[in-house]
Every structure is written in C-alpha cells, then in structure tokens.
Copies of this chain bind each other. A is one copy, B any other.
C-alpha cells in the first residue's frame, strides 16, 4: 500500500449508548429481541427508556468503537458520521476526538437529535440493543471528505449504515473514492437484519470485487450464504473477497485469505460482564495487525485479545491499556 495519512477511515453510526443492567424477565416483558439489534422510533425510545433502570451514557456506534480500539492500539484513524447539534452529539464528538481520532463531520442542526442505543445487559453479559437512529441516518454524501478517504489505507464500512438511504449513497461514493485511490475497502455485516434487507447489495459488491475485507459473525455468514454449515459458508464467500473474517463468539474465529486458512480459539475472559462491542473490537485488533502486515493467525489473535478486553467490562470501548495487553499476550 502507498503512504497514507491514516491507517483506517471509517463511516459509521454516531451513537451514544444508554446502558443499564437488567433482569432476564424485563427482556420478555418488553418483548425485546434478546441479543439482537432492533431499530426503534422516537416513541419506542421513550417507551423503552421509561422501562429502563438507572443507566450510563457511553459513546458507542459499531465502527466508532472499532476506531476507538484501533487508536488505543496506535493506529491513525479518521471517523465520518452524523451527530446532531445537541448535548449527546457533543458527548460523542468529545469522546471520539479524546481517543485521538480525527472527526470533523459537522453536526446537523435541528431535529432529530443525536442517535442513541438503549442497551439492556442481562446477568449473563448478553446485550439487547434498541437503536434510535436520529441524526445518524442523515449523513449526506456531500459531507464526505474524499481527500481523507483517499488518504487512508483502509476504508472501513459499518453494515448497519447500509440500511438508511443517505448513508448508503454516501458509502457507495466512498467505496468508489477509495478504490480510485488504490485503497482497500472493508465491510462488517453488522447484523442479520441488514442482510435480510440488503443482502443482494452486499452479494453484488462482493461479486464485482469491490470489497477486500469482509467481517461477519457465524450468524451473518449463514444469512449471507443460506447455509448453517461453517465450512460450506466459508467456501461460498471466500472466493469473492481477499480476506474473509468470521467470528464465532466463544468458539473463537476463523479467517481465509488468498487460499490460506487460519483459526484461533477465543481468548480467556475471567468474567463476561457485557458483550457490547465484542465484534467491533475484534475488527479493531484484526485491522491493527492488517495495516502492520501481520500474518493471518496473528491478526485473529489480536482481534481476540481486543474483544476479550471489551467484554470484561461495561461499555463498548476499551478501558484497559490495549497496547500493553497485546504486548503481554503476543509480544
């Protein structure tokens, strides 16, 4: 790859997480999709917030979490995403910049407010996410900084953002800009519901060779390929993308790259407190190794280490010194 100002530029939802522990019974009572991500409107957000216990506000957003991990590891990152001109927008912008990440998408005046994700964390550490997209879904293609995208070795795209119209259009333009500059394009599939609505788009992007790196978990792999069999699913997708990374929760992760296959077990975790951000941080560790030219197995291990850190505490962004953790575990 040629010289670049940034290692990774990412486009993603600019979201503040509103997180509270809850008992399993509440998930049933509120009729929530346990372990999943559901889009909610303003009214739904009000209803769920009223039912939620005392909460904490912690900046989130899938791709933004990934960048927080990358920046903590030492990568140079830039984020593109839409907040509103309000207090939660200021919180999001502060937190991402305070993490050393370049962020200059102008806040959007007026309604709707900054996106928030109401996250109910059950005693087993599982998170049930309910997202009010607010301003985040109105990222217009016009605010894209194409110079910035051309100046990043990898463009990283959040699958969730493929759902709303404006960000989808912005991402298509961003892919073109990255490819024109000879950069790599990575996509994370984010959630089965995105695949159920936009699987054809993703399959077309893959078939036309527009994606270099694809992140999926085992459920998303099944949704993309129509098979529950891991090896069969991998065999179907691998020929269409240079690097395919599939995370398997407590079963670890597997990757295929140019015919090579690597696999790792999950990193040990003393206690799973909150799984929010596990996939995001896995991508962070993997991409950190990727831009440094590390081998495939080592990239998977780096992903596992970052994911293990984030699930050992409340919140989807790293708290411990990831750099130190990595050098302790893999030298």
On A, residues with C-beta under 8 Å from B are 20-21, 49-50, 52-59, 68, 86-88, 91, 94-96, 98-99, 113, 315, 317, 319
Residues of chain B with a CB closer than 8 A to A52's CB: 94, 98
Task: Knowing that A55-B94, A55-B95 touch, tell me 10 more A-B residue pairs with CB under 8 angstroms.
Answer: A20-B98, A49-B94, A50-B94, A52-B98, A54-B96, A54-B317, A56-B56, A56-B315, A57-B58, A57-B91
A38–B59 CA distance with the chains assembled, in angstroms: 26
Nearest-neighbour CB distance to chain B for A231, whole angstroms, equals 40
Residues of chain B with a CB closer than 8 A to A315's CB: 56
> Binding site of A, secondary structure by majority: helix, strand, loop or mixed?
mixed
Contact: A95 with B59, CB < 8 Å? Answer: no
The chain B residue sitting closest to A19, CB to CB, is B56
Residues of chain B with a CB closer than 8 A to A54's CB: 59, 68, 94-96, 98-99, 317
Residues of chain B with a CB closer than 8 A to A317's CB: 54
Contact: B59 with A98, CB < 8 Å? Answer: no
Contact: A56 with B58, CB < 8 Å? Answer: yes
Residues of chain B with a CB closer than 8 A to A68's CB: 54
Residues of chain B with a CB closer than 8 A to A20's CB: 98
A50–B59 CA distance with the chains assembled, in angstroms: 16
Residues of chain B with a CB closer than 8 A to A96's CB: 54
A53–B88 CA distance with the chains assembled, in angstroms: 16
Residues of chain B with a CB closer than 8 A to A59's CB: 54
A91–B19 CA distance with the chains assembled, in angstroms: 12
Select which of B21, B87, B94, B95 is within 8 A of A87 by beta carbon.
B87
Query: Which of A68, A94, A113 has most B Cβ within 10 Å?
Result: A94
Residues of chain B with a CB closer than 8 A to A50's CB: 94
